[in-house]
A and B are shown apart, each in its own frame.
Chain A
Amino acid sequence: MFDKSFLEELRERRRQWDAEKDKFAQNARPRYMTVSGDDVDILYGPESVDQSGYLDKIGFPGQYPYTRGVHHSMYRGRMWTMRQFSGMGTARQTNERYHYLLKQGQTGLSVAFDLPTLMGYDSDHQRSMGEICKCGVAVDTLADMEIIFDGIDLSKISTSMTINAPASILLAMYVAVGEKQGIASHKLTGTLQNDILKEYIAQKEWVFPPEPSIRLITDLMDFCARHIPKWNTISISGYHIREAGATAAQELAFTLADGFQYVESAIAAGQDVDVFAPRLSFFFNAHQDFFEEIAKYRAARRIWARHMREKYGAKKEESWKLRFHTQTAGCSLTAQQPENNLMRTAYEALSGVLGGTQSLHTNSMDETLALPSDKAVLLALRTQQIIMHETGVANTIDPLAGSYYVEYLTDKLEAEAEAYFTEIERRGGVLKGIEEGFFQREIAKSAYRYQKEIEREERIIVGVNGYVMDEEITIPVLRIDETVARDQVASLQKIKQSRDNDKVKRTLEELAVCARGNGNTLQAILDCVRVYATEGEIVDTLRPIFGEYQEPPMF
């Protein structure tokens, strides 16, 4: 873009300018760095960015390598989906919250499950004590899912379910709810998180070891290709990797490495990359470093497109496009002066939008204290609506392209991710890396470094190590009553008595046969959930066949 002699002159002028700086005041801070701890230069210009290959590297929205966005018209064609993750207490309470959110203008649902559901335990299991309905809604059987979606037409709404180890079971239940509403499975739209690799790496909600877990996932991908073609089968997630303490480069690299692993596993299972790849989607964090985050999303699109086309031989454009959901960073919120979290979340959400996200969750200001209240949830949603309608940032596509700093960061993050891919391959791949604790150690190191930066006051967090106030927290805290857990257990027991237990036994036996052999596990699980087998019964059927994952403790 700039000719050589101009760039040489520019570099010389820059050297002079750098030398002049000393005449002026000293830096106010000892170090200037991104949230990821990387040094930031005082100024970026044309000399900071590789100027070659604009069309190859940046190009146009909707065109390879999609640096500027996956869609031709981006937000003019379709606004991002405002998708607030929620789920609380019983199925009935969750259903009420969904009706409330839909009435307020939310455009998609996102289900949060409680820990026993995420871990494959029924509400009456000993290990569920104290956890029932706490972090989300409890689902034991199809009956709970019927209530959650009561009065919500599944052909008109897209639903995202944050579930991983038992993802097949919850998808089967969703299909069964559709059947009861008279909706054919090919009309269902939504996303399943179903990303077990990041569970081993970061979020730690696993049941089975990696190999059988990957089989459950490839079975599900195959089932969806045939019966639920509009379903996004895996939401390959960097969110939790970032929350666990990773840097932006680590989030980017580890998430995409997980994505490549799923692609390789599905290809190895005999599936056609151009059939399954268009249904893979991503889920990234929006942390506090505004420009670094925007660069991260842009780099992610470019890397995915290049690898899918060049390495995995995908031919369809849809297979090259990295579509993603964004959630603002829970780990950036503070319990101190919680209203400040409104501002943090707004800036983070803005970076997601400027980075071209397809859907967005904005956190509520009170989430470091408890589950969010109705008021806090509403303000979080309003934050998105203000960005959408009032700031003007969605009028034009990728408006920060061409910013020397943003392009520099985009190239830098891409290079750092590529360096990690090489390192992961050298170590024997993603599964080997998990087994040896490589990812877990890298993340723990970054988390510890970040904490030390705060404690040395190299990093100021308003209300935590700067601008501290004595305060009385007046935000109302939503509590889940213990009677909710008792009610959930009681309704589970009622279902167990009223269902046809012979049919349950038979379908579970058929599932065991399928799991031992080569059948499609999702098909067999669908038969189990239709007759109200519980989630725990299905997991208990698979556990002796698949085994259980154990993580060696390390820090």
Chain B
Amino acid sequence: MAEKIRVLLAKPGLDGHDRGVKVVAAALRDAGMEVIYTGLRQTPEQIVTAAIQEDVDVVGVSILSGAHMTLFPAIVDLLRQRGGGDKLIFGGGIIPDDDIAALEKAGVSKLFTPGASTVEIIDWVTRAVAAKKNDEKLL
């Protein structure tokens, strides 16, 4: 049997809207993944530390407060500095299209916006992790 995909889900900043992240957590768990949820109000530092300690494949970040242009890059940069640059980062929230383009350029692999289904998210995580593991094997 294939190893379970390990996912860290995180809520950075001051935003307390956790309906979405909890739905995604339950859906990824029910899809057979190992899900670790940080809880609310985590600093980028705390999220990156958890991602490395838990040795996850993917980090999912939920931000609905408008602080995404500050918090996503902070997490991406810190993860790279700490040697976790191989981990995929995805996110969800109320994020305008222009910002999505800028964040994807900055190293966020995928952003989901309102209306995204958990099926799409499960599918993306499964494929992205498989592709990453395949690349690692080739190296």
Contacts and interface: CB of A to CB of B under 8 A. Distances in A.
Contacts of A455: 117-119
Interface in B91-107: 94, 96-97
A369 B94 contact: yes
Nearest to A554: B37
A389 B34 CA distance: 55
A461 B116 CA distance: 12
A275 interface: no
Interface in B31-83: 35, 37-40, 43, 65-71
A555 B37 contact: yes
A135 B37 contact: no
B25 to A, nearest CB: 4
A444 B22 contact: yes
Contact of B23 (A129, A205, A371, A447): A447
Contacts of B39: 551-553
A331 B113 contact: no
A94 B60 CA distance: 34
Nearest to B97: A473
B19 interface: yes
B67 A555 contact: no
B77 to A, nearest CB: 14
B65 A129 contact: no
Nearest to B22: A555
B66 A555 contact: no
A461 to B, nearest CB: 8
B26 interface: yes
Interface string A282-314: 000000000000000000000000000000000
Interface string A444-484: 10011001101100000101110000000100010110000
A115 B94 contact: no
B16 interface: yes
B19 A131 contact: no
B94 A127 contact: no
Q: Per DSSP, are chain A's interface residues mostly helix, strand or loop, or mixed?
A: loop
A512 B27 CA distance: 46
Interface string A125-144: 00111110011000000000
Contact of A335 (B23, B40, B114): B114
Given A131-B66, A448-B22, A334 B14 contact: no
Nearest to B68: A130
Interface residues of B, number: 36
A540 B18 CA distance: 26
A134 B14 CA distance: 11
A551 B69 contact: no
A130 B35 CA distance: 27
Contacts of A127: 13-14, 43
Contacts of B67: 115, 129-131, 134
Nearest to B39: A553
**Residue picked from B13, B16, B43, B70, most chain A C-beta under 10 Å:** B16
A427 to B, nearest CB: 21
A204 B22 CA distance: 13
A121 interface: yes
A480 B66 contact: yes
Contact of B13 (A131, A205, A479, A555): A131
Nearest to B66: A134
A203 interface: yes
A336 B117 CA distance: 13
B13 A115 contact: yes
Interface residues on A, range: 35 or more
A251 to B, nearest CB: 14
A119 B119 CA distance: 34
Contacts of B17: 203-204
B115 A448 contact: no
A477 B96 contact: yes
Contact of B19 (A128, A447, A454, A465): A447
Given A451-B23, A455-B119, A370 B38 contact: no
B70 A130 contact: yes
Contacts of A554: 37
Contacts of A116: 14
A135 B64 CA distance: 10
A244 B69 contact: no
A107 interface: no
Interface in A65-94: none
Given A131-B14, A134-B65, A244 B117 contact: no
A205 B94 contact: no
Contacts of A369: 94, 96
Nearest to B72: A130
Contacts of A464: 115
A73 B60 CA distance: 53
Contacts of A244: 18-19
Nearest to A473: B97
B96 A370 contact: yes
Contacts of A463: 115
**Residue picked from A203, A204, A465, A477, most chain B C-beta under 10 Å:** A204
Interface string A325-361: 0000001001110000000000000000000000000
B69 A444 contact: no
Given A203-B17, A465-B117, 12 more contacts: A128-B14, A134-B66, A204-B16, A335-B113, A335-B114, A370-B66, A448-B22, A448-B26, A448-B27, A454-B117, A473-B97, A555-B21
Interface of A: 115-116, 118-119, 121, 127-131, 134-135, 199, 203-205, 243-245, 331, 334-336, 368-371, 444, 447-448, 451-452, 454-455, 461, 463-465, 473, 477, 479-480, 551-555
User: Nearest 3 A-B pairs (CB), nearest first?
Assistant: A130-B70, A553-B39, A204-B16
17 contacts: A115-B13, A115-B15, A115-B65, A121-B14, A129-B67, A130-B71, A131-B14, A131-B65, A335-B113, A336-B115, A444-B22, A448-B27, A473-B97, A551-B40, A552-B39, A553-B39, A555-B25
